[in-house]
Amino acid sequence: MNGFGPGRWKWVALILALGFLGIQFIRPALPNKPVTAELQVPPDVKQILKTSCYNCHSNETRLSWFDKPAPAYWIVSNHVKEGRKHLNFSEIGSLPLAQQQGVLFESISQIELGAMPLPAYERLHPESEITPQQLTVLKNYLNSAVSNRVVTAEEIGSADAEYEKWVHSPSLAKEVSPAPNGIGFLPDYKNWRAISSTERDDNHTMRVILGNDIAVNAIAHNQINPWPDGTAFAKVAWLQQLDGTGAIRTGAFFQVEFMMRDNKKYADTLGWGFARWRGADLKPYGKDATFTGECVGCHIALSKTDYVFTAPIGGQQ
Amino acid sequence: MRLQMANIFLNGFVFGIVFALFGCGGEKPKVFASLNQTASLMGDLPANPLAWSVITSSASRNDSTMSTLYGNDVASQYARTNPDHKYPNGSALSLVTWTQQEDSRWFGAKIPATVKSVEFVLVSSAAGSPSYSYQKFEGTPLKRSSAEEYRVPADRAAELLSQRGAVLP
């Protein structure tokens, strides 16, 4: 064997060049649809979103020259399509205001956790980096948008009615439909141990996070990364009832969400089975099994904590 | 979902090669899988409320605190099935109050920071007449700061006993 001579290298280079030219003809379309309902925010906030987020999260995508040749184009156009699906600043205005705000709060968390802008994208597009100063601008805007609305008599009335109904028939055997991904409701969650609580001012809820025996045992032995198979959490949320003295009580039941660890069964969703039931009548959340995309969309930012938002308080045993 | 994950990995792989050539970007704030150590209950308590069931939770904007009301089996079962507040013999309730901190994993959320106080009310009944024993623990480690006995619950004991169970369907 003589190995590759100079002549052969020329051939290799030529084939590679032809291949590169050839793949340029494979171009999935990436049209900019019209801007129908753009997010309404102050100019300084909008400028940050435009520079750092709009390329993948709006209908005003502007690709850099180095994003245009394939295969880079394939990756970037895929990012943009996925990005728009999760959050599109050109169309978000059609959602109810509270829901828009929820999305913005979630976005801040994604930025703080380093999940957004996508680290890979940010390294090639350094202008998209959100500086600490810019993050402060975004946070201040959202904090100022949070209302300290005192509970109305009507809201108290309907929460009271819900309580009366529940307290007189809490264990009434009712048929709870499974979540669209097949996960069944676990009525015993209410007897699990509390491992933490959260007060969310962005969506005005109070939450208690409960863990089953396996979770509590894992906490006792500080084996929480990864959490063992069989771990289950229930996050219960109630609407806040804020009164004129600044006291917050739990109002109407909002939802209960579950995370169940089974690495094999739920390999497609970060090793966790996600399910959520809304309202005191426990209506399963999600039109079909793809609802878990929403769960993964947020939890994936927490790869360092086994995709769990709660930092548990120890000492349940 | 499988497709989406595959895309993420493919993208990560291709970009990974590019970054191996061009180096890394700035440092991001880090989040670790750890227990919330400062929020745990430290000190000698007559019982461990964290081993009980949740009755309800509350918060105070002015004090920047959040509380969870726990009950032993007797108390939590009672609170979930009775709109009255005449807890039976053997009921034990405990209100744990924490100062708050910003949740580093979710902007807009507050989570427990340090324990401010742990209060207990024990209901016992002798010869048909109930009595209510109230105790409060504060400080690090937690030390008993007050103890009261009531025939008719008053003050903080009455406040704990009057909290309504949160709806848990």
Residue located via tokens 């895929």: A78
Q: What confidence tens digit (pLDDT) does each residue in B107-156 have?
A: 999 999 999 999 999 999 887 789 999 999 999 999 999 999 999 999 99
Shortest Cα–Cα distance, B76 to chain A (Å) = 9
Quote the pLDDT of residue A46.
94
Q: What confidence tens digit (pLDDT) does each residue in B55-90 have?
A: 999 999 999 999 999 999 999 999 999 999 999 999
Rg over CA atoms, chain B: 23
Chain A residues within an 8 Å CB radius of B70: 194
Q: Nearest chain A Cα to B54, which residue?
A: A194
Kindly determine whether residue B11 and residue A314, on different chains, have CB atoms separated by under 8 Å. Answer: no
Shortest Cα–Cα distance, A252 to chain B (Å) = 7
Kindly determine whether residue B7 and residue A78, on different chains, have CB atoms separated by under 8 Å. Answer: yes
Number of Cβ atoms within 10 Å of the Cβ of B61: 16
Higher pLDDT, B44 or A70: B44
Class level of CATH domain B37-162 = alpha beta
B29 touches chain A (CB under 8 A): yes
Indicate if the pLDDT at residue B25 is higher than 60.
Answer: no
Indicate if the pLDDT at residue B28 is higher than 90.
Answer: no
Report how far residue A142's alpha carbon sits from residue A150's, in angstroms, rounded to the nearest whole number: 19
Mean pLDDT by 10 residues, chain A (317 residues): 70 91 83 88 94 93 85 86 91 89 90 90 91 93 84 95 90 80 96 97 93 98 96 98 94 97 97 97 94 93 94 94
Delimit the domains of chain A by residue range.
12-145, 153-305
Kindly determine whether residue A313 and residue B112, on different chains, have CB atoms separated by under 8 Å. Answer: yes
57-76 in chain B: CB under 8 A from chain A: 57-63, 66, 68, 70
Whether this model's ipTM surpasses 0.85 comes out as no
Say which DSSP state B4 is in: H
**SS3 category, B52:** coil
Q: What confidence tens digit (pLDDT) does each residue in B3-16 have?
A: 444 444 444 444 44
Nearest CA to A56 out of A86, A20, A17, A11 is that of: A86
**Nearest neighbour of B111 by CB, restricted to A113, A196, A202:** A196
Nearest CA to A97 out of A27, A164, A145 is that of: A145
* Burial degree of A163 (CB within 10 A; 0-12, 13-18, 19+): buried
Q: Nearest chain A Cα to B8, which residue?
A: A79
Chain A residues within an 8 Å CB radius of B164: 163
Quote the pLDDT of residue A247.
95
Average pLDDT, whole number, for chain B?
86
Q: Nearest chain A Cα to B79, which residue?
A: A167
B54 touches chain A (CB under 8 A): yes
Quote the pLDDT of residue A99.
85
Quote the pLDDT of residue B128.
79
Quote the pLDDT of residue A4.
60
Q: Find the helix packing angle between A72-86 and B2-22, rounded to 10°.
A: 130
Delimit the domains of chain B by residue range.
37-162
Chain B residues within an 8 Å CB radius of A197: 57, 66, 68, 111-112
Report how far residue B138's alpha carbon sits from residue B45's, in angstroms, rounded to the nearest whole number: 11
Q: In chain B, how long is the greatest CA-to-CA distance? A: 83
Amino acid at A306: D
Structural contact between residues A271 and A293, judged by C-beta atoms closer than 8 angstroms? no
Quote the pLDDT of residue B5.
45
Peptide bond into A71 cis (omega under 30): yes
Quote the pLDDT of residue A272.
98
Chain B residues within an 8 Å CB radius of A253: 166-169
Q: Strand runs (DSSP E) across B16-166, as ranges?
A: 53-60, 65-71, 92-102, 109-126, 129-138, 143-150
Chain B residues within an 8 Å CB radius of A231: none
Kindly determine whether residue A313 and residue B35, on different chains, have CB atoms separated by under 8 Å. Answer: yes
65-124 in chain B: CB under 8 A from chain A: 66, 68, 70, 80-83, 100, 103-112
Quote the pLDDT of residue B14.
46
* Burial degree of B85 (CB within 10 A; 0-12, 13-18, 19+): middle
Quote the pLDDT of residue B50.
98
Chain A residues within an 8 Å CB radius of B2: 268
- Three-state secondary structure of chain A: CCCCCHHHHHHHHHHHHHHHHHHCCCCCCCCCCCCCCCCCCCHHHHHHHHHHCHHHHCCCCCCCHHHCCCCHHHHHHHHHHHHHHHCCCCCHHHCCHHHHHHHHHHHHHHHHCCCCCCHHHHHHCHHHCCCHHHHHHHHHHHHHHCCCCCCCHHHHHHHHHHHHHHHHCCCCCCCCCCCCCCCCCCHHHHHCEEEEEEEECCCCEEEEEEECHHHHHHHHCCCCCCCCCCCEEEEEEEEEEECCCCEEEEEEEEEEEEEEECCCCCHHHCCEEEEEEECCCCEECCCCHHHHHHHHHHHHHHHHHCCCCCCCCCCCC
Kindly determine whether residue A292 and residue B1, on different chains, have CB atoms separated by under 8 Å. Answer: yes
**Nearest neighbour of B108 by CB, restricted to A201, A208, A302:** A201
Kindly determine whether residue B36 and residue A313, on different chains, have CB atoms separated by under 8 Å. Answer: yes
| CATH domain A153-305 topology | Chalcone isomerase (3.50.70)
B11 touches chain A (CB under 8 A): yes
Quote the pLDDT of residue A172.
57
Structural contact between residues B45 and B142, judged by C-beta atoms closer than 8 angstroms? yes
